[in-house]
Chains A and B, each alone.
Chain A
Amino acid sequence: MRVRNPGARHVVALVSLCGLAAAGCGHLGGGGGSDDTIDIGALVYQTGPLAQKGATNNLTMAADDINAAGGVDGRKIKIKFYDIGGLTPQQGRTAAQRALADKPDALIGPSVSAQTNAFLGLLPKAEVPLINVSAQRESDPGQPQGNPWTFRIYHRVDRMAEAISRVMAEQLKAKNVVVTHSTDDTSTHVKDDVVKDLKAKQVKVMKIASYTPEATDLTNAALATRGADAVVALGYPQPLGLMVKQMRANGIKSPIVFDPGAEAGVKLLSPSDLTNTSMVAACRPQATQGQDPVAKKFMDAYTSKYPGSYVNGYYYEAVQLIAQGMRNSKGEGGAKLREGLAAIKGFKGICGESSADADQNFIHDYKVVKLDGGKETLGGIVSGLTGAY
């Protein structure tokens, strides 16, 4: 009597689940930080909503430049890219785990704060320092979720607010201001600080208009800015560009100061919409190349090597800083590299002068970038930023 094999169906489950295990085991034997190369793991966005941010070109060029100049004490820099793929914290954590499995010397972080927070806890055990490219204060070493293995190359929320309010008060001499922001967390934090700073400088905040990051019609926010002699605009690129377009469409011509969220949004606006607008950014070689020979050299090299590609000074400078950190730590990774990075003072890079402070943030002088007519020119530098609180 043929006995039907009861477990036959379950063999299928076992086989497919083993497939999962095998797919993973392939990662066990990843290359360690071998001696002759300095391995950097870069968490970037090749697919999903933030895809094609041009980060890969900037990182590759930085490594090529350093290796061309003889590398770090003879050791070549090798960058491996890990696609995060989306905006969820799980994707950030998975990409970080994949990078750490290859035992890199250093990591260059994602630009979404929630994703950075999702894997900060892994760094102390892996003893791998991270150059963080997101704006939230939570990832700073002193913070509850932070740890001493993170360094920030990007602007920080409170410093950005201080810079913007100083531009409004000192440069634009505005008396009546309207602040608009999308309700994502970073913009909300910057808005709170800007409002506090402006009040401290006796600048009247007429109205605060907020909109959701995925709003598709911003007439309400645009109309709220009517009557202000200057407008602060914070938030995601898409709604930011849309709001300015609807302000101009409704005949509102007052000057506007953006935070870096506008970077991608600016491309959506016609040159005429951009009259009387400026943006504050921590690292903007495109604008500082007029005054800064280092930025000029980088911009010329980059635009010739990758014509039309998106310039991202933060990623380029991050690789340079890791190389400098390695020089300070005499080629030692782990805790030594961390101390090497923390010891960087007055490093002359494409973002101007970078030096690590107590919170291990590198950039302290933010640049005011005028955007009139769609061309970027330097409208001044706000220095000595300590963060309002």
Chain B
Amino acid sequence: MDRFIPLLFAGFSTGAVYALVASGIVLVHKASGAVNFAQGDLLTLGAFVYLAFTGAMPPMAAVGLTIVVLFLAGGAIERIVFVPLRDQPRLTVAVATFGIALAIQAGLTVWQGSDPQSVPSAFGHGSVDVFGTPLPVLSLWTILITAIVFAGMYALFQFTQIGRMVRALAADREVAVLYGVPASGLNFLTFGLSGALAALGGVLLGPSIAISPMMGFSIVLFVFAAVTIGGFDSMGGVAASAVVLGVAQQLLTGYVSSAYTNAYPFLVMLALLLVRPTGLARPIAAERF
């Protein structure tokens, strides 16, 4: 049974990172009703920006700066793409985010080349003994930091004025604007926040794997499985399903077969969608058929 605990922890740590990316997608969906296919590539961008900064400054400063840069990148995407396409159908907006994903991937290939690169960890190296089995230090930090971030976001959305306004915007855009909610300003903020979350994901995931410009898409596919199960509007639901999927993937790979590692999240998602076509959480636009 010596493999169970490490696999479980590996599942928790990847699940935690995917929860960060998933919450970014939920934020964008809350604010603008659109699905952001480029969220995975924002994570890749975050990892490469962090890599570039580590060369010039101590790791923690690099982490901080990366989060700020990605915050502005998220806001810029909202201004350049989402504002002009506001009244287009949701699918066209989703397709536009593909354009962003392609541009980020190609930009990174030009800037950093396509060879995989390793990223120094800002949160410790090597392994530490927990319950007798050596576990990577980084994954323990990842789980801890993600928990803190989610607690912070929960507080932001439940108790602060900004949080209430964002939730009002998500509930009913027109009415919220009528009540004086500064929709465009808030949009910029929520997109920026989703960029910052992606940056954190990049900083935490980067050192534990090798980063390459093309890795964004496989991450977003996994995250979509979690978002579909957790529902597009509930941060908690999405975070929980991301972690569950992360652990399920590791255990299935360990104990069933590793040839289908990438397929497990989809199999779980498809099985669930066939049972409940609108996802587990509160159904949003329930298409009545």
Contact = CB atoms under 8 A, between A and B. Distances in A.
- Does a CB–CB distance below 8 Å link A and B in the complex? yes
Chain A: number of interface residues, binned into ranges? 35 or more
Interface stretch (A121-129, A162-170, A193-201, A208-216): A208-216
A49 interface: yes
Interface residues of B, number: 35
A203 B211 CA distance: 36
A341 to B, nearest CB: 32
A241 B115 contact: no
Nearest to B135: A250
Given A237-B116, A251-B127, A215 B136 contact: no
B212 interface: yes
B250 A217 contact: yes
Interface of B: 2-3, 6-7, 10, 14, 109, 113-118, 126-127, 134-136, 138, 205, 208-210, 212, 214-215, 218-219, 250, 253-254, 258-259, 261-262
B114 A216 contact: no
Interface stretch (A61-69, A143-151, A220-228): A220-228
B10 A219 contact: yes
Does more than half of chain B's interface fall in helix, strand or loop, or is it mixed?
mixed
A168 B65 CA distance: 47
B124 to A, nearest CB: 11
Given A238-B116, A238-B212, A51 B258 contact: no
A269 B120 CA distance: 10
A97 B6 CA distance: 51
Nearest to A217: B14
A52 interface: yes
7 contacts: A183-B259, A215-B261, A216-B209, A220-B3, A220-B7, A242-B210, A248-B126
A47 interface: yes
A50 interface: yes
Interface in A171-203: 183
Given A211-B258, A220-B254, A223-B3, A250 B115 contact: no
Given A246-B136, A269-B118, A220 B250 contact: yes
Contacts of B254: 219-220, 223
A358 B135 CA distance: 52
A249 interface: yes
Interface string A36-59: 000000000001111110000000
Contacts of B113: 51-52
B198 to A, nearest CB: 15
A388 interface: no
Of A49, A249, A265, chain B has the most CB atoms within 10 Å of the CB of: A249
